[in-house]
Amino acid sequence: MDAPHVEFGIDSFGDLPRDDQGAIVSHAEAIRAAVAEAVLADEVGIDVVALGEHHLPEFAISSPETVLAGIATVTKRIRLASGVTVLSSDDPVRVFQRFATVDALSGGRAEVILGRGSFTESFPLFGYDLKDYEVLFEEKIDLFHRLLDETPVTWKGTTRAALHAADVYPKTESGRLSTWVGVGGTPQSVIRTARYGFRLMLAIIGGAPDRFAPYVDLYRRASEEFGTTAQPVGLHSPGFIASSDEEAKELFYPGYKETRDRIGALRGWPPLRREEFNAEVDHGSLYVGSAETVASKIAHAVRVLDAGRFDLIYSSAGTVSASARLRAVELYGTQVIPRSESFWPNSPRPRPERRDDHHRDPRGREDRHPTGASGRRSRIPRPDLRVG
How far CA 164 is from CA of 135, 144, 168, in Å, comes to 21, 15, 12
Identify residue 261 by its one-letter amino acid code: D
**How far apart are alpha carbons 146 and 236 in whole angstroms?**
27
Residue 246 CB partners (closer than 8 Å, separation 6+) = none
pLDDT, position 3 = 57
CA dist 126 and 139 (Å) reads: 17
pLDDT in tens, the chain (388 residues): 455 689 999 999 999 999 989 999 999 999 999 999 999 999 999 999 999 999 999 999 999 999 999 999 999 999 999 999 999 999 999 999 999 999 999 999 999 999 997 789 999 999 999 999 999 999 999 999 999 999 999 999 999 999 999 999 999 999 999 999 999 989 999 999 999 999 999 999 999 999 999 999 999 999 999 999 999 999 999 999 999 999 999 999 999 999 899 888 988 999 999 999 999 999 999 999 999 999 999 999 999 999 999 999 998 776 799 999 999 999 999 999 999 999 876 655 555 554 444 333 433 333 333 333 333 333 223 333 334 4
User: Alpha helix (H) ranges present in 92-175?
Assistant: 92-106, 122-125, 133-147
Confirm if 174 and 379 have CB atoms less than 8 A apart. Answer: yes
Q: Each residue of 278-331: pLDDT tens digit?
A: 999 999 999 999 999 999 999 999 999 999 999 999 987 767 999 999 999 999
Our CA dihedral for 73, 79, 83, 88, rounded to 10 degrees, sits at 80
pLDDT digits (tens, 9 = 90+) for 348-363: 555 555 444 433 343 3
Q: Which residues, including other chains, have CB under 8 Å from residue 127's CB and lie 6 or more apart? A: none
